[in-house]
Amino acid sequence: MASVNRFIQFNNETVNTRTLLRLERLARALAGAPYLKMTTRKLIEFRPSESAISLSVFWRHRQENIEMNGYLSDVYLLSAGYWRHFDFAAYLRWATERTRLPSLRMQLLLCAEEFRLSERIMKERPGTQEAFRVRENVYRDFHETQYEQNRQKGFHADAFLNAAYLTLHGTQKTLEDPQLVLHLWTELFDARTTADSMRVIDRIVVRLEHLLEKDMVHDLYTFGENPDKAPPVHEHEGARESEVGSDEKIETIEEWFQSWHRETEETDASAMEYELNEGKSMIAEGGREEAGALEEELQTAKGRSDGDHLADNETEDRRTNNAPKPAKGKYGRANEGVEFTEKRLIAASHDLRKIEQWRIEQAPYVKALLKELRKRIEQRREQPRALSAGRLSKNLLPLIVDERPKPFYRKMSPSKNLDAVFSLLVDGSASMVDKLEETKQAVLLFHDVLRGLGIPHEIVLFYEDAYEAEEARQPNYFEWVHKFEDSQRDAASSIDSIEAHEDNRDGFAIRWMTERMLRRSEKHRFLLMFSDGEPSAYNYADNGILDTAEAVDEAEKAGVTLLHLFLSDSVPGEDQQRLFRMMYGNRSVTADSFDRFTEQTLHLLRRTLHIIVQSG
């Protein structure tokens, strides 16, 4: 995002990610579908190609009780009602019948089915009654208002739908010609199946076609994706006939989603199996001569001096495949189209005097922190433990005053290096351009403190190429400023070479780095993230905030502690603070001026390192 001020104040439509995650888990439990995903859209929808159901943003910006119960009623309807109790096969046949009022016909059916399924759910699950009571009250007021407006504007089909909803919920409206038709509508009180609702709707629409000149203007109900849209058949190059999916009859929404989910999984699995069995090897593609040359080059590199860190890094980089790698859903559902490239950040020419000046300014803080931590480590190492056997203590008073005296002691064994590993993700988006110098100083401080303690750490710049991003492909880049394998090598020149690029896909970057950290054997794993705003990438708006929150939760559950430092030149507003709480919980710290970047970095390091020392 090019804007310097990342957070757009007038675009206040941020989703509460914690709430959405809880609702998603509820929907999965009710539907018995662990693959089910949750999104928000204008109306409640089914989106099987994404394995997702959508809640309506109709409930936003209302009282907290109304908003939560509204969302709950959406979840109940979609995952406990429509999921298994809507006759999908009958609907597919019914939807193909021609009519002059297709929109009104379809929306009347969905309105009728919502009423039927709501009654069924409340009978089977009495605990849902409060949510549906709130839903009914809010929608009754909504349809009352819309009814009057639609009549004034001459939208008679829309007004009829409003009157139909109100009739089902005990409020009669006076219509002119269609009034008698509403008496047929009351037969829905006896409907037990989707087919019963369809019969009532068809009797009504036949009469309305002679009374109404125009179809509906607004969409108050929608099915989502086209029900006729079939799941992809898992054919691929090299697939056998027996592997190609066959037609099957789909009776319910659940089966519709399962067919999409199954076919998508089989497509990926079959394609991967084909690539493994039939794909080309490196030798087949490049020839034995190329492979031999690479092997010779690696052997030459192995013979270099251990002290030549630069040469070692060059060898390691040659072993790393720099070709783009597809995410294929491995790093979150919002990142299925991502291709990512891992590479070493090329250090450009830098000003040694500038780096030296930064280090001179930071030296007192670095030395003080190192001295403090080493003192704490030494105190913990030499602290004697009272035991029932061992060396006799000079203090024999416990023999007299204690019921179970322990007059012996043994010094603790010398402590090893701190059993911890750190990673730092640096936002490489365009909006970082005005705060690069301060960010580099904070990164340098992070690097110098951990080098001083001998703690392995990694520093990575991440960004997305906004100019090349498209629906099917979003290229992302991870540039290593410092790698775990670099050990104690000074990365100052690489840190000084950090540059701003385009967009940032935070949830994806967190998952990628978490995966790397989980390969480490250290007891404590800390992931720090420096960024100056919310995620911003291709097709990554509200779903980016949710994706980041999910990635943070996944990292914490896997044993990686994530801390976020918000880089800004001003005090963040209430909306910004709420946004970061949604994504990072209570693990977000704000640097509200350029001068405080390094100060807050030092604060984060002190906090985490003290935890490590205390836990031993």
pLDDT digits (tens, 9 = 90+) for 287-341: 333 334 434 433 433 333 333 444 445 545 555 567 899 998 789 888 989 999 9
For the chain, give the mean pLDDT.
81
Report whether 21 contacts 550 (CB < 8 A): yes
> For position 518, what pLDDT does the model report?
95
> For position 279, what pLDDT does the model report?
45
DSSP letter at 454? T
Over residues 56-60, the mean pLDDT reads 92
Strand-pair partners of 563: 528
**pLDDT at residue 10 is higher than 60:** no
Q: What are 230-287's pLDDT values in tens digits?
A: 665 444 444 444 444 445 678 999 999 998 877 766 554 444 444 444 443 333 334 3
Model confidence at 576, pLDDT cuts 50, 70, 90, reads confident
Q: Please give the Cα distance from 499 to 434 (Å, whole number).
A: 11
> For position 485, what pLDDT does the model report?
92
> For position 277, what pLDDT does the model report?
45
Going by C-alpha positions, the residue among 560, 555, 531 that lies closest to residue 426 is 531
Q: What percent of the chain has pLDDT over 90?
A: 50
The lowest-confidence range among 7-21, 323-337, 458-472 is: 7-21
Greatest mean pLDDT among 51-65, 106-120, 165-179 lies in 106-120
**pLDDT at residue 29 is higher than 80:** yes
> For position 253, what pLDDT does the model report?
94
Could you give phi then psi for residue 252, rounded to 5 degrees? -130, 170
> For position 358, what pLDDT does the model report?
92
Q: Please give the Cα distance from 409 to 62 (Å, whole number).
A: 64
**pLDDT at residue 194 is higher than 60:** yes
> For position 262, what pLDDT does the model report?
78
Burial (CB count <10 Å: 0-12, 13-18, 19+), residue 573: exposed
Over residues 38-47, the mean pLDDT reads 91
Map tokens 């800004």 to a residue: 568
> For position 447, what pLDDT does the model report?
95
